[in-house]
Amino acid sequence: MIALIDYGMGNIHSVTKALEHVGGRVKRVRQATDLVGCTRIVFPGVGAFRDCMATLRERALDGALHQAVAAGTPLLGICLGMQALLTRSYEFGCFDGLDLIAGEVVPFPPDLPAAGHKIPHMGWNDVVIADPLHPVLSAIDHRQLYFVHSYYCQPQHLAHTLAESEHGGVRFAAAIGRDNLLGVQFHPEKSQQAGLDLLHAFLRWNP
């Protein structure tokens, strides 16, 4: 059973359909107790970092996620769900994240539009995967994925950056992770077959 974290924002329906398409059984999780019996966690994300974290704390999901990760449950964070794994974000202020991976979420430089590079970064882009290939990310090696974001992750430790992409000359983490944690900045549910292949690989992953 896959726990899909539902904090009242984001593209829950699209992610649910994509997971079901690759053979997953999905349970929407809105409270900490809903995580009981789930063997994998998907943390999707569209919305504001501050509001996301406030909802997680209000529903005691922050502590429940820490406990699940410590117990070895595989977790996939998508876009904002990936960013929430880090220590803090500078999206419209400075707000604490889950601190499951040390690092910060920062904005693209404000001068990018003047140089012809739009913010948010939106559309298909190459992803360069670090060597050795992560067992989940190997499903998207040499393929393009779909991005929509104005902020990006900067992990504190280089080893936690599992893949990179580039926008307007700015290289950023397209995927981060450690142990049973994996986060992707792109949207698998919007990335057609490449995204479905990644989700299928996540369902088979045994970290």
Number of domains in the chain: 1
Q: What is the CATH number of the domain that holds 22?
A: 3.40.50.880
**Can you give the pLDDT at residue 59?**
95
- pLDDT band of residue 102 (cuts 50, 70, 90) is very high
> Residue 197 is part of which domain span?
2-204
Read off the pLDDT of each residue in 58-78 and give the average, rounded to a whole number: 97
The answer to whether residue 8 scores a pLDDT higher than 90 is: no
Read off the pLDDT of each residue in 156-162 and give the average, rounded to a whole number: 97
Q: How many whole angstroms separate alpha carbon 84 and alpha carbon 80?
A: 6
Read off the pLDDT of each residue in 180-190 and give the average, rounded to a whole number: 97
**Can you give the pLDDT at residue 7?**
86
Question: Is 0.85 surpassed by the pTM of this model?
Answer: yes
Read off the pLDDT of each residue in 101-119 and give the average, rounded to a whole number: 96
**Can you give the pLDDT at residue 11?**
78
Q: Which residues are identified as catalytic?
A: 79, 187, 189
The answer to whether residue 114 scores a pLDDT higher than 90 is: yes
| Averaged pLDDT of the chain | 96
